[in-house]
Each structure stands twice: as C-alpha cells, then as structure tokens.
Structure 1
C-alpha cells in the first residue's frame, strides 16, 4: 500500500509548493481535486484538457517528486433536480474522466448524487425511513428513473476510457452504505466502486472493518480515504446520528470528523488496514483532513505519523511457516 493525501486541504498554496511539502512528509501519492465541491485549486481541468504540453508538465510536476496521482476527485451532485446544477456537475465528472484517461490516472472520485422526489422538484430528497410508504415510493422512483440510468451511462463512459469511478459513501446521497453501493454496482457495472471513507461509516453505525469485508469481497473498493470520527456519548442521545447542526458547533454535535487516531485508537486502524490487505486492496490510503480542532499542518502531520505505524507496505511474501 501507499500513503497519500487529498491535496484540497492545501488549496491556498501553489501546486508545486504543495507537492514539495507532501513529498517531504514521506508520502508516495496525491489525490487532486478537479472541481465540484473540492474545487480545482491545483488542477485547472479545462486548461489541461486543451493542452497536451500542460498535461505533460502537470504529470512531471508530480512524478519528479516521487509521487503518483491516486485519483482525480470532483465530488458533486450530478443528479440534482435543478438542471443548471446537475448539468454542470455532470460536465465536471465527464471532463474529469477524460482528463484522468489522458493522464493515466485510474480512478475518479465523486458522490453518487441525490435526486428530488419528482421531475419538477427543486431540491434533493434523501429518504431514510421505510414508512410512511411515501418514502419507499420516492426511493423506488429515484433509483429507477435517475440513479441507475445515470450511473450506467457514466460507468460505460469511464470504462471506454479505462477509468474506474470511486463513489464516496456519504450521507445525503443515494449511495451511502455498502448495500447501496453494491446495488448500484450490480445494475451499472464494475466500473462503479467505492471510495471508502471510514469516517462516514462510523457515524452511520457501520463498522468500517466489516464494510471493507463486504465491499472488498466483491472487488468493489477502488480508493480509500483515511479520516476518523468521534461520537459524543451524550450529544448523540440528544441529536441522534442524523444531527443537522453545523460542523462548526463541535461542542454540541453528536459526532465530528477527526484526524486519524483521534476518534479511534491505532488498534482499530490496524484492523482496518489489515482488512484492506486481506481482501486484496493494495492501492493508496489517502488522508483527508477535516478536523475542526487542529490546524491543517498539525492534523495532517499527526495522521501521517499515526498511519505510518500501521500501514502495510511490502508485498505479501511466502508463508514460510505453512
């Protein structure tokens, strides 16, 4: 496995300066935003697509520092019921796939998106309860008319360009659990897989180790984010796991994102890394920093230090004791 980072946290710094800093920490990979919610501070998608010379220079900037690009990321909502939004997000995803293909990057990360509840809806509707039955009707309509058709088309688009799609399992979107990811993958094809982030598993009550097993046995983990979550034992009883308070209200929230090791101890993270190895995932573990209690530098540095202890780097050798 290789250790990497999602460079969006260094968006205020130029690309070359960011890459120098990442390499100085001993990392081997970088995940780069190309638009959508992560922005495009380090990768101007349209400029690169239009100029092969700029593509070569972009790759060279990464590779001469001993790094590889693990994924291009354009998290967005291509199923948004407002057509102006969904059309723009669809364009970003397709262009990111095109760019990944030209750069030789194997994975594009994004969200599944979430539609509305009918053709003239204005806002997304995320059903999370089976009753009253209206919610089941909405869910069926969304998957039949929006989710499966769109991602079947995008999966084929990506396959034709030798790119895989890593959907981040994230609350508020149609694909947010291992089961919903596998449902979409069965319908839309094997180009669709997970960008598995354990932080979103924990707050939904899902054990990330088991999520790795469920998805890994199906060959459905295309990328992995390293981010932690802490759950407040008092606040969760007041607000529940679907806490709608702002992430900035950290003292009152039921749960919050933390850097690796500050929500769960290193034995838990060692179990996650071991599970990834067990199911055959031997790609990049990409740090995502969204810890409201730590600066970018401190949160990132602590994540690197903690993951260095548990990451399994070397190829699996012969079991000499068998």
Structure 2
C-alpha cells in the first residue's frame, strides 16, 4: 500500500504572511505530488490564526471568558480557518487525496468536536490524523475519540504514540503545561513509546475500535520518547504493537 506524506509542520493561516504563504505553497504542491504518486493521505495541521487582521503572532483561545476570547475564536473560524480549508478540501477532492489533520494542542482543530465541525463546514476530504498521545493529555479517551470520528468516516491516518501522565505534576502545573519537553521530572505529561504510558490492554482496545469502525490503513509509529534512544524507543513500539495489531480479516461468524 502506498504510504502517507507525514507531516507538514506548518501554519497556513498564520498572521505571519510570508510563513503562511510558504506553508500554503508546500501543502498545495504536496497534494499534487501525492496524487501523482498515488499516495492517498497527506498529513498536516489545521493552523492557528491571529486575533485580527493586524495580528503579528498566532492566538490560541482556550477559554470562553473573558468574552473577547470567544469573539476571537469565532472570528478565526469564520474568516480564516473555514475559508482556507474549504479551498484546500476542494483541491484535495480534485486530486483524489485525503487530508489528515493532527488533533494537536495549539491549533484550532485539536479535538474530535473541532475536527467534525471543520469537516462539516468544508469537505469530506478533511479528516483526522488521530494521535492518541494528544488525546490523553487533553483528558480525552482515545477509544471514545475513535468511535466518534470513526462513525463519521473521519479517521484518515493513525499515529502510534503514548503519553505518560504524572498526576503529581498535573496538580502543580495543570495539563496545559508550558515547560520544555526535556523537563521530564517536572512535566505534567511526557510523550512515551507505545505501551510505556498506558497499558497494552488500552492499546488493544484502540486497535479493536479502529477495526470496528472500518479503519484499515496505516498505524504509524511516531517516536518522541524523551528517556529512550531512537533505536530502543522504536523497537519497544514495534514489539508492543506486534502484540495488539489485528492483521487478518475476521471472516464469517462460524459460531453463530
């Protein structure tokens, strides 16, 4: 099966116009190249706009009060996010390519709700690159996220990456922890290799949920474990995934 172009770390709706233009150009070229190479999915991020046309930096509102935050969010969606992804969704449709947006904090699309909201307002070519590591630190059950998005046919790619939640540090810093990722002793949460943050039973439940909702595409290891080498972290992920992956079609229910 052809692979996926993953991942374009860009912000095509950034208030930095030069950077936004560069990101937009790369994304459009990648969609066209993916079509030529018969690569079915291009992964990227939704982006985050500023708070007005005069903004200098992105602004990620996370609370509805004071009410100017809610007003900023509405402006971002109506004037930047939806118009941009309508256009890109049409481009993806025309080239028979799907877009996988990683649900990542700091970007306007970061939850199942925001994913489905954008998809409904733009194109079915827009879906999720579902990374459970970003669900866990937001307090979202990844299995529930798979069910929500799977029912809509909105999972286009899946990342295999874990997160360790340190409750003692959560009590100090909260889940929106701005410490550098290298501060593993004090961070509220830390990315880990598969099975090093959550049990293999939980990973098995995710793989089963993907199968139940007809996802039959890539399970892509993303290694960002701060306390393991590249080789060891990758090998651990491969070993643990091998124990939970479902490889064969179910076939007929011979017992019923």
Q: What TM-score do you get using the length of structure 2 for normalisation?
A: 0.99
Say whether the 8 Å CA contact 1:72–1:105 is kept in structure 2.
no
Is residue 138 from structure 1 mapped to residue 87 from structure 2 by the alignment?
no
Q: How many residues align?
A: 256
Q: Distance in 2 between matches of 1:112 and 1:70?
A: 17
Q: Secondary structure at the match of 1:234?
A: helix
Offset of residue 70 of structure 1: 3.2
Aligned match of 1:269 in 192, 198, 203?
203
Structure 1 runs of 4+ aligned residues shifted over 3 Å read none
Aligned match of 1:211 in 139, 145, 150?
145
Residue by residue over 1:182-237, the C-alpha shift from the partner in whole angstroms, topping out at 9 and shown as x without a partner, is 00000001000000000000000000000000000000000000000001110000
Q: Any residues of structure 2 matched to 1:91-170 within 5 Å, and which?
A: 91-170=25-104
- Larger relative contact order (CA 8 Å, sep ≥ 6): 1
Is residue 90 from structure 1 mapped to residue 24 from structure 2 by the alignment?
yes
Q: What TM-score do you get using the length of structure 1 for normalisation?
A: 0.79
Say whether the 8 Å CA contact 2:4–2:43 is kept in structure 1.
no
Q: Secondary structure at the match of 2:9?
A: coil
Structure-2 residue corresponding to 1:253:
187
Unpaired stretches in structure 2, ≥5 consecutive residues: none
Q: Secondary structure at the match of 2:3?
A: strand
Q: Secondary structure at the match of 2:64?
A: coil
Structure-2 residue corresponding to 1:180:
114
Q: Distance in 2 between matches of 1:292 and 1:184?
A: 33
Offset of residue 72 of structure 1: 4.1
Residue by residue over 1:14-45, the C-alpha shift from the partner in whole angstroms, topping out at 9 and shown as x without a partner, is xxxxxxxxxxxxxxxxxxxxxxxxxxxxxxxx
Aligned match of 2:156 in 219, 222, 232?
222
Offset of residue 86 of structure 1: 0.4
Give the RMSD, CA atoms, in angstroms.
Answer: 0.8
